[in-house]
Amino acid sequence: MCGIVGYVGKRPAQSILLDGLKKLEYRGYDSAGIVVCDKGQLHLEKTLGKIENLERAIKNKNWQSTLGMAHTRWATHGKPSDRNAHPHTDCKGELVIVHNGIIENYQKLKQALQKKGHQFKSETDSEVIAHLIEENYRGDLGAAVRQSLSRLEGTYGIAVIHVKHPDVLIAARKGSPVVIGLKENEHFVASDVTPLVSHTKDVIYLEDGEIAEITPSSYHISTINNEKREPAINHVEWEIAEAEKQGYDHYMLKEIFEEPDAARNAMLGRVIPEEGLAHLGGLNMNDDEMREVKRIVIVACGSALYAARAGEYMIEKYADIPVEVEYASEFRYRDPVIDQGTLVFAISQSGETADTLAAMKEAKRKGARVLGIVNVVGSTIARESDGGTYIHAGPEIGVASTKAFTGQLTILAILALQFGRLKNMPFSTGQKLVKELKTIPQKIESILEQDKAIKQLAESYAQYKNFFFLGRGANYPIALEGALKLKEVSYVHAEAYPMAELKHGPIALIDRNFPSFVIVPKDSYYEKNISNVQEIKARDGRMIAVATKGDSNISNLVDEVIYVPKTLDLLIPLLTVVPLHLFAYHLAVALKRDVDKPRNLAKSVTVE
């Protein structure tokens, strides 16, 4: 959430900054702003709403300054408005900041600064940073920033410029990502690499407590205590075309159609069919250490949590290891028990999810080995974990996660195989599992061939205001994922329940105006699921079934059927989730929602 772009170099900054903001739109925002510094003067514009509003406001400005910053805000303190939008200035209008994160002690700092005569213009916590730096400024901007940051409590990713330092851009981070882009005679700052890759592939990821002082020709990284750092330079592997729509109407649809590749890429070089083995090399654990694992705890949020819950079934079945899946946002507040033999996994698409990071740090404080499962290379979870694996799904721009979810499920299946073969899984079972895993991408492609039919189905259900999503076993988390996707992108109310729980209260809501998605593949739960379907049918409830291809019985019991290919029971979630993603997308389009940028949501949730 929130986006930062900064530039210092030889080219006019205005178009670079606006283009960068557009590439950060997927993070979610409600207002936008831009500032450039030119000949001892700040030129600043802020607008409520979309970046197009900001573009119109500065259309005829044609600023030629080569130093500037831009920001998209997702409201935390103070409602969305022009005055609460970033950037924020000091009293004199000489210094300007943009900020991602939350300053927890801003009220105390604000009161102290007001007593000293500082005049605040916004309701935000962020503005206090500008006034604090102004209060500490004595001609050395870097020193003033360091002194000010030492007084802040909370999280921040910031960028700062000052009219008296016309070729200096300062950036710093604590808990909110900041990336420095490197290029000859120009440098960039951003909240992630997406706006940078069209300019440079060489980047530095700032660590917590680090400050970067950047000019067109140089950069210096130090700590708040002014201790010099020699940062690693990372090379971004993906191309900007991977983050573009490539002819699809929305990023979400493009990324759903990339789910087969997400599964393929997650498996690439990691499974050995002839031996029925798997190997995730980045775990930084040898075979003996893996055999000693007695319990696994997985922390995650949102869709990643539901992938983890499906993975729980896989790991317990194939590896015979107890698994607990925890809301990352609750994990550290309940004093979790971490004993010897506990391995913790943190799952996050962005690798920057604040709640998941906090849970990871709590687990490490309690002595656990923590491994990350992330998509974004160089992200904070990837850097701060003891090991882990990338899902290699490529950039995911749509706010609602789809292909990353498939990648996470695939990685969890591979983990189940790797742990299982190190323990008691027979060779034949390992071979069978790998063989089926390798067929999953092609089977997902066969489901995507039903896109037009699912689109027509979604359009026919666009008038309904409520949905149930029902499943058993590993498909209950898929029901949760289906309900979440529908809520996220269409704003239609949806609830998910284990199939058998319907009769313990929720069945009171069933009628012709409250349809249910029932996930009823031909698995070990099939007969019990059919009994529950009969209960809904007896109450005149409408039903859409996700069923196994060849099941002719189900069409006699429900109103609509979407078929998926047959596979192993615990791999079925990799298939049943795909029609739910497509249905949510097409229903949202039918309702004319902003699919890629749903209201109130952000792609990377970097505040708790």
Structure confidence at residue 334 as a pLDDT band (50, 70, 90): confident
Cβ atoms of 331 and 359 closer than 8 Å:
yes
pLDDT tens-digit series, residues 30-84:
899 999 998 888 999 999 988 999 999 998 888 999 999 999 987 788 888 999 9
Q: If we measure between CA atoms, which residue out of 306, 283, 301, 302 comes closest to residue 293?
A: 283
Q: If we measure between CA atoms, which residue out of 318, 317, 313, 288 comes closest to residue 298?
A: 313
pLDDT of amino acid 540: 92
Cβ contacts of 307 within 8 Å, gap of 6 or more? 300, 347, 405, 408, 409, 412, 477, 481
Structure confidence at residue 102 as a pLDDT band (50, 70, 90): confident
pLDDT tens-digit series, residues 275-294:
999 999 889 999 999 999 99
What would the two tokens of residue 560 be? 């609509």
Q: Report CA 464 to chain centroid distance, whole Å.
A: 29
The catalytic position among 2, 201, 301, 455 is: 2
Average pLDDT over residues 218-223: 95
Angle between helical axes of 573-590 and 451-460 (0-180°, round to 10): 50
CA atoms within 13 A on the CB side of 366: 22
Q: What is the DSSP code string of 242-291?
A: GGS-TT-SSHHHHHHHTHHHHHHHHHTTTEEGGGTEE--GGG---HHHHH
Measured distance CA(194)–CA(472) in Å, rounded: 38
Measured distance CA(295)–CA(345) in Å, rounded: 11
Q: What is the DSSP code string of 174-241?
A: EBS--EEEEETTEEEEESSSTTTTTT-SEEEEPPTTEEEEE-SS-EEEEETT--EE-PPPEE--S-GG
Domain boundary assignment for the chain: 3-236, 241-447, 450-608
CATH class assigned to 3-236: alpha beta
Say which CATH topology domain 450-608 has: Rossmann fold (3.40.50)
pLDDT of amino acid 124: 93
What would the two tokens of residue 606 be? 């970097």
CATH topology agreement for domains 3-236 and 241-447: no
For domain 241-447, give the CATH superfamily: Glucose-6-phosphate isomerase like protein; domain 1 (3.40.50.10490)
pLDDT mean across residues, the chain: 93
Measured distance CA(124)–CA(85) in Å, rounded: 9
Q: What is the DSSP code string of 145-184?
A: HHHHHTT--B-EEEEEEETTSTT-EEEEEEBS--EEEEET
301 belongs to the catalytic site: no
Average pLDDT over residues 2-31: 89
| Model pTM score | 0.81
Convert 29-45 into a string of H (helix), E (strand) and C (coil).
Answer: CCEEEEEEEECCEEEEE
The catalytic position among 22, 201, 597, 603 is: 603
2 belongs to the catalytic site: yes
pLDDT of amino acid 186: 96
pLDDT tens-digit series, residues 107-142:
999 999 999 999 999 999 999 999 999 999 999 999
